[in-house]
Amino acid sequence: MSNNTIRVGVDVGGTFTDVVLWDGNKFTQTKVATTENQADGVVAGIEKICNLTGSEPSHIDSFVHGMTVPVNALLERTGAKTALITTAGFRDILKIGRQDRPNLYDPTASRVAPLVPRDRRFALSERVGPDGLKETVSAEEMQQITQEITQKQIDSVAVCFLFSYQDATNEQKVKNYLKNTLSIPVKISSEVLPEIREYERTAATVIDAYLTPVMNSYLETLAQQCRERGIPEPHIMKSDGGVARLESAQSRPITTIMSGPAAGVVGARSTAKSESDSIATKSFISLDMGGTSTDVSYLDRGEITRTTDATVGEQPVAISVVDIETVGAGGGSVAWVDSGGALRVGPDSAGAVPGPACYDRGGTDATVTDAALLKGFLADNATLGNEVQLNRSKAYSALQTVAEESDLSDPHTAAEGIFEVATQRMGRAIRSVTVERGFDPRECGLVAYGGAGPMVATQLASQLDINTVIIPPLGGVLSAYGLVSANERYTSSQTYQASLESASDTEIESLYAQLEDSVSDEFDEKQISSLSRTAELRYEGQSHEISVAVETPFDSRKMIAKFHTAYADQYGYQMDDTVEIVTLRVAAVQDRDIPPASVGVAESTQPVDYRDVLFASSGGKRETPIYRRSSVSVNDYIDGPAVIEESEHTIIVPPRWTADMMNNGTIQIRSST
């Protein structure tokens, strides 16, 4: 084992937990089954990869973790019993929300119930006016609410007052009182999200409070297991694609909701930026298909796109997150027939236990993996992730049931239908992050990864008229690689509403300096690689902003010109209206010196086997050469049909597509039509 720094990334998925180790010279990858207590699977994965590389867990210098604990708690509503304290008269802000409905043309449509029911929402008399604090909270009211919180056995408290982003005195007073009286977490909006829009700010503060006890319990358990084995304390991947220290993640769990998917996009960006100029200058769509779901994201000219307008489980998450669209279609997604006889796929998943029928672990539901096995994409008795051996007869029986229920002719037709339905759902997700935002997917490359992404990528690309598919090295565990390579990143924001024509550049510059100080405090300033500023700007009267990069020192005239240009780029026109500044943002980054993912390549390309494979475009099964990824050499072209196998994933090259291997082990697949 090398004496170089050893870094490990562990990403937890719905079916498998992926692990990547970098020892300063090469990458090693593996998978283990995801466990009910995710910490057990994480530690088992680290121990397994240490055994593979001949090292000890105590040799690890850096451990970065991507998880699904917070998003699962939010989606499954298994978070803490939470209370909300807000301004008198605004007790129902969570219920009222915004005027938009889940379905615009359905008058009976209803929103999901708030995370905090009305009997746990409390109101205090307080007020902040344009000139500052007008009415302070009283000790009598705080004492009364504290008694009710105790009686209701509340686990966590969120506090959100009107205009607290402008003056947080009352929120801080309530927080200090509750912390001195109760032994439960207390979250205030002026620390979680000091920005305008009371509904989104309240919702974010509630989510943070709702997740805190769950996250603290999980992370403390994981940290303890790490300490017992000499593994360093984990750093945590955040939703914005940056890494944070354990205590930072514990203090603001809302920032980790999209932890795992964000890591995959970070890995995809590294792949895109490391290729030749003809590829790296393109825009990309990342496709991460795992066992439970598929995540897609748009990389504008190879750069990660972020948003503050995301929703998870119908809850607004107004913090900065990687812009990701998720659909419940993964390798373990269950095929079913609705009341009208139509074939559906997902969102229910067979998971890892019992898993798809072909896992032969007691599961009987037909899934996308069962369909892949019957189509010949996967080999009978193949082993997935060195963990699960596939049983074709079990898949056949499950698909026979689907065929009978849907009046399809046979299990093979059912398998083809399952793939078509699943990829159509993924296609709609891709259109939502491209076409619906003014981007043409036909001008993009598709970066496919995850355990099942490379298997569906070319069929999905054909549907969208995308002619280039990229399968990265470590593609089956790219999210874990993204954890190893991700930068440490901290952000801070503050609302500042003013017309840029009359704004004080000196005052804004002072506020930016304060925000930079707050993010610099997260780590040693000497370690900061870059500090960046952005501003949320809009035309007067608009209700939504766009983000524009800010130069130092702040110059209102330059910002007006930059906004007009950015607006025209995004919407195709600009206006002569007054430009307003709404929110200031700062990000601090510490770069990690990790090379792009790479794997060894062979000296010559030779098939290792042949088997019958059913392709959607071929009208029947075709005898198809099977390659090992390690047996494909650089600059050798493989004309489809072909199947390229690796222990972590399978790559499908259909007829009229051609694959070739690049120097670092990236596989490009191009359409010849």
Cα→Cα distances 404→206, 409, 420, 549, Å: 47, 8, 18, 57
The answer on pLDDT for 526 being more than 70 is no
Share of the chain above pLDDT 70, in %: 96
The answer on pLDDT for 649 being more than 90 is no
* Amino acid identity at 632: V
Can you give 222-264 as a three-state secondary structure string? Answer: HHHHHHHHCCCCCEEECCCCCEECHHHHHHCHHHHCCHHHHHH
Q: Provide the pLDDT for residue 44.
A: 95
Q: What's the pLDDT band for 372 if we cut at 50, 70, 90?
A: very high
Domains of the chain with bracketed CATH: 7-74+219-252 (3.30.420.40), 79-215 (3.40.50), 258-487+592-673 (no CATH), 494-513+521-590 (no CATH)
Cα→Cα distances 434→3, 280, 298, 444, 568, Å: 45, 18, 7, 10, 17
Q: Which residues have CB under 8 Å from 234's CB, separation 6+? A: 63, 64, 65, 219, 222, 223, 226, 246
Q: Provide the pLDDT for residue 617.
A: 64
Q: Which residues have CB under 8 Å from 340's CB, separation 6+? A: none
The answer on pLDDT for 362 being more than 80 is yes
Q: What's the pLDDT band for 386 if we cut at 50, 70, 90?
A: low
Instruction: State the average pLDDT for the chain.
Output: 89
- Residue with more model confidence, 617 or 347: 347
Q: How far is CA 488 from the centre of its chain?
A: 16
39-44 long-range contacts (CB < 8 A, ≥24 apart) are: 39/218, 39/221, 39/222, 39/225, 40/225, 41/12, 41/17, 42/10, 42/12, 42/17, 42/222, 42/225, 43/222, 43/225, 43/226, 43/229, 43/231, 44/17
The answer on pLDDT for 541 being more than 80 is yes
Length of the chain in residues, anyone? 673
Neighbours of 589 (CB within 10 A): 19
- Give the integer Cα–Cα distance in Å for 223 and 244: 15
- Give the integer Cα–Cα distance in Å for 97 and 111: 9
- Give the integer Cα–Cα distance in Å for 369 and 352: 12
The answer on pLDDT for 276 being more than 60 is no
Average pLDDT over residues 79-97: 94
The answer on pLDDT for 137 being more than 70 is yes
Neighbours of 36 (CB within 10 A): 8
Cα(first)–Cα(last) distance of the chain, in Å?
Answer: 47
The pTM of the full predicted model, rounded to 2 decimals, is 0.86
Q: Provide the pLDDT for residue 1.
A: 38
The model's pLDDT over 466-524, given as tens digits with 9 standing for 90+, comes to: 999 999 988 888 999 999 998 888 899 999 999 999 889 999 999 999 999 988 888 76
The model's pLDDT over 1-23, given as tens digits with 9 standing for 90+, comes to: 344 689 999 999 877 899 999 99
